[in-house]
Structure 1
Amino acid sequence: MTLGISINVGSIGLCLMGFGEPLENTEIPQAGSSLSEEMDRIGAAVKDILARRSANRRDVLGVGLAVAGHRMLESAFNCPLPLAHWSLIDLAPLLGAKLGLPIWADNVARTAALAEAIFGVGREVADFAYIAHLHGYGGGLVSGGMPFRGSFGNAGEFSVLFGQQDYEERPAPSLLLRHLHANGRPDLTLKDLKSEDLAQWQGVAEWVDRVAPAHNRTVNALCAVFDPALIVLGGELPHSLARMLIERTEINNLPRHGALRDVPKLAVAEVIDAPGAIGAALIPLFETVL
């Protein structure tokens, strides 16, 4: 068995996986600013999930740790402000000592892309891009069926496409949440939105229209640089919003000699429950067995 742990703004996901098959997913709240306390809670959650399966830690091959943020070192990340206490710290030794298990670390958007490659719509193609609408706006690239990380481990950081002047126009769920709070729904969380059909909600179509140019910039950058067969909209993005963005997609494809080039299809992610943790649980298998 392997374990996957994903550190997201607002939630910590855990996945216990058999040999390539998720056995159980669970989630605990991410809150506070104490790294040691959150690691203690992760340790307790790991103990619980193993107990429910009548398993011991010696049955676990290793742990994949997925963290929201830019990769700085092998297991250090520069995270969003709510995860500042997880930032710029070599996490693998700390969590490894807590759990007594080997740790492999990666960005949560790339582990979500890996989950989609193995269990989702990405099974149909060898090369695809995954846009991870989590708290922020990032993603992952899968090339030849394997994650492509780049020289510094940050391939797929789509927010880099945007300067400070248009950073607020990205289709990031945290910005959607802020917009909905301002439109009379102050108590909503991202988790509340996941299964909702938002198409008729006040202010949603307006927000989608506003962020569509940024969405199209990302799609066209992927077409130009990566040339994938498929672009998947995933992360915490509700399916209703993903479909609205797909409807507004405009791919630059001017005809030459009367012919158009091939362009990628767009699809909604199929792995919707804890994709980052599921993908993270695959990392020890890829690193040691597969």
Structure 2
Amino acid sequence: MHAIGIDIGGTKIAGAVVDELGGIVRRNRRPSPAGDGERIVETVAEMIEELAGDEPVIAAGVAAAGFVDSAQSTVYYAPNLDWRNEPLRERLEARLGLPIVVDNDANAAGWAEFRFGAGRLVSDMCMLTIGTGVGGAIVSGDRLFRGGFGSGGELGHLRLVPDGLPCGCGQRGCIEQYGSGRALLRIAGGIADEEAAGIGRALAAARAERPLDGESVGALIQAGDPGALEALGRLGRNLGEACATLSAVLDPQRFVFGGGVSIAGELLLAPIREAFAAHLPARGFHPEPDFVIAEFVNDAGIVGAADLARVWVAERA
């Protein structure tokens, strides 16, 4: 029952053979030729061949950032991979003779958490990945939600602030502009400008040495710096408000937070819970979800992609 999972990132392509319990049996990785869509297809095919070796595998799943159709076959649009209506499953199956499933990378990561990680004890879960942007995955009634055309669950583009900051999706005010790692750096920079008031002093000092980045802000958060903690608090409150809106629609039992910013743990979850409670409609008249940090880190996309491929084959057996 082994399956192969491939996670296509901006700088690397990672892959592994995964067992039915989500365990990594064997892994591989290569640099990602992100600007060359054709070469990416070749690299993925070569990695699947290498990982399979002489060992029988049931299928392979491929996770990529972008819009994937509901048949888990064609990548409509992948902004960082130069793919437009790329028939990825068809091309890989023709070469490999192996069942292939294609899905969005956030969906794959969310599925890994639902099956084997922080969401494994619930039937309805919502995951937000807080990295450079904000990704999302929704599990409803034990099934991954994809929408009618396959591109549902793009939670980072929920409108949080009407006519707010411009977003790369072409709209304004998306949660990605207020709840991402990039947003954290922008908020921290604004607090650094408040150096005269004292709270931004350490952030301003760090910025004087080099531009603020995730490492420098993260170190100040872990050190308990008031300015950095305020930046994280503002970010968390933005996410909590978005979760209240999502809860009114999806009613999940659990919110799971992954991505680089999630390493802040309870320091991130506390302001999320606070803002959620303040903005949840009809609070106190129905059960409320819990909020947890994802258990998988770098392997979520790989494990989720492999298991989605395994499920796809099993449902068609």
TM-score by length of 1: 0.80
- Structure 1 residue ranges (4+ consecutive) displaced by more than 6 angstroms after TM superposition: 177-182
Kindly provide the amino acid, as one letter, of the partner of residue 11 in structure 1.
Answer: K
Root mean square deviation, CA, Å: 3.2
Structure 1 residue aligned with 2:173: 166
User: Of 268, 271, 275, which residue of structure 2 is paired with 1:245?
Assistant: 268
Kindly provide the amino acid, as one letter, of the partner of residue 112 in structure 2.
Answer: A
Q: Alignment partner of 1:141: what SS?
A: strand
Structure 2 residue aligned with 1:267: 292
What is the distance in 2 between the residues matched to 1:267 and 1:27?
A: 29
Q: Mapping of 1:3-82 within 5 angstroms?
A: 3-22=4-23, 23-51=25-53, 55-56=54-55, 59-72=56-69, 74=71, 75-80=74-79
Q: Mapping of 1:107-126 within 5 angstroms?
A: 107-126=104-123
RCO higher in structure (CA 8 A, sep ≥6): 1
Structure 1 residues 246 and 281 mapped into 2: Cα distance closer, same or farther (>3 Å)? same
How far did residue 268 of structure 1 move? 0.2
How far did residue 213 of structure 1 move? 4.1
How far did residue 222 of structure 1 move? 1.8
* More moved, 223-232 vs 10-19: 10-19
Q: Mapping of 1:144-155 within 5 angstroms?
A: 144-155=141-152
TM-score by length of 2: 0.74
Q: Alignment partner of 2:287: what SS?
A: coil
What is the distance in 1 between the residues matched to 2:90 and 2:126?
A: 31
Kindly provide the amino acid, as one letter, of the partner of residue 169 in structure 1.
Answer: Q
Structure 2 residue aligned with 1:86: 83
* More moved, 267-276 vs 68-77: 68-77
User: Of 236, 244, 250, which residue of structure 2 is paired with 1:226?
Assistant: 250
How far did residue 124 of structure 1 move? 1.4
Q: Does 1:286 align with 2:311?
A: yes
Structure 1 residue aligned with 2:302: 277
* More moved, 115-124 vs 157-166: 157-166
What is the distance in 2 between the residues matched to 1:284 and 1:16?
A: 12
Q: Alignment partner of 1:94: what SS?
A: helix
How far did residue 92 of structure 1 move? 1.4
What is the distance in 1 between the residues matched to 2:43 and 2:238?
A: 37
What is the distance in 2 between the residues matched to 1:171 and 1:253?
A: 18
Q: Alignment partner of 1:5: what SS?
A: strand
What is the distance in 2 between the residues matched to 1:220 and 1:8?
A: 30
How far did residue 129 of structure 1 move? 0.7
Kindly provide the amino acid, as one letter, of the partner of residue 75 in structure 2.
Answer: A
What is the distance in 2 between the residues matched to 1:178 and 1:110?
A: 27
Q: Which has the larger radius of gyration?
A: 2
- In the alignment, structure 1 segments of 5+ residues that lack a partner are none
Alignment size in residue pairs: 277
